[in-house]
A and B are shown apart, each in its own frame.
Chain A
Amino acid sequence: AQKVTQAQTEISVVEKEDVTLDCVYETRDTTYYLFWYKQPPSGELVFLIRRNSFDEQNEISGRYSWNFQKSTSSFNFTITASQVVDSAVYFCALSEDFYNQGGKLIFGQGTELSVKP
């Protein structure tokens, strides 16, 4: 069955520390997409990144980087030199092609990141 697990419920760090948010997924499909979203206190989910199952290259965008490993079914997210503005809830999500499940994202439970000054 498809499932996304974010084992870390809450993480607290001090500004400038590096932090990694873990995401492990389960899927029966060979074609799937993984996403990370950020949810600040305002509530809106902000899209951060999308990866497809055939592209295992790591990606870096500024202070953000993502490590995708199919062998361990993980798609981890690292924030380097964290800032107070990074404080939010982060969600990992899965979209799979099996049975044409377009339009449906399966979310993890989210990790609440608190960055203290």
Chain B
Amino acid sequence: KAGVTQTPRYLIKTRGQQVTLSCSPISGHRSVSWYQQTPGQGLQFLFEYFSETQRNKGNFPGRFSGRQFSNSRSEMNVSTLELGDSALYLCASSLVGEVTDTQYFGPGTRLTVL
């Protein structure tokens, strides 16, 4: 089975711009979670989607949003980029997103904001 894929792998943007990241889950997985990884804050949960609905959200400003499509692929969007948004954004998929599920991660998108 193919793993979780994320595109693009690298992005460079300037402050004020917006960005969209994409994630394709493992075939058959219906839950997609997003995480932000920075040297200072570590790995932090952004949000989780299941059946095109956001079920859980971390403590991030409204500039961070996401959506999920009927084929379980997910996108996250960051508007009005700030320098502090520079990070590795990781997407993970699991079967149905229950606490018992194992999340499998993609390679991440490294976003640099100049």
Which partner residue on chain A sits nearest B102 by CB separation?
A: A50
* Interface, chain B (partner A; CB < 8 A): 31, 33, 35, 42-45, 48, 50, 55-56, 58, 88, 90, 92, 94, 96-108, 110
Which partner residue on chain B sits nearest A50 by CB separation?
A: B102
Residues of A within 8 A of B110 (CB): 43
The answer, yes or no, to whether A75 is at the interface (CB within 8 Å) is no
A-B contact count (CB 8 A): 73
The answer, yes or no, to whether A64 is at the interface (CB within 8 Å) is no
A103 & B104 in contact (Cβ 8 Å cutoff)? no
Chain A contributes a number of interface residues (CB within 8 A of B) equal to 28
A101 & B56 in contact (Cβ 8 Å cutoff)? yes
A107 & B97 in contact (Cβ 8 Å cutoff)? no
Which partner residue on chain B sits nearest A103 by CB separation?
A: B48
Residues of B within 8 A of A43 (CB): 88, 90, 107-108, 110
Can you list 29 A-B contacts with CB-CB less than 8 angstroms, sorted by A residue number? Answer: A33-B99, A33-B100, A37-B105, A42-B107, A43-B88, A43-B90, A43-B108, A44-B105, A44-B106, A45-B92, A47-B103, A47-B104, A91-B43, A97-B99, A102-B55, A102-B99, A102-B101, A103-B33, A103-B55, A103-B94, A103-B97, A104-B33, A104-B56, A105-B45, A105-B92, A105-B103, A107-B35, A107-B44, A108-B42
- Cα A37 to Cα B55 in complex, Å, equals 24
The 8 closest A-B pairs by CB, nearest first: A103-B48, A103-B97, A45-B105, A107-B43, A44-B107, A97-B99, A102-B98, A43-B108
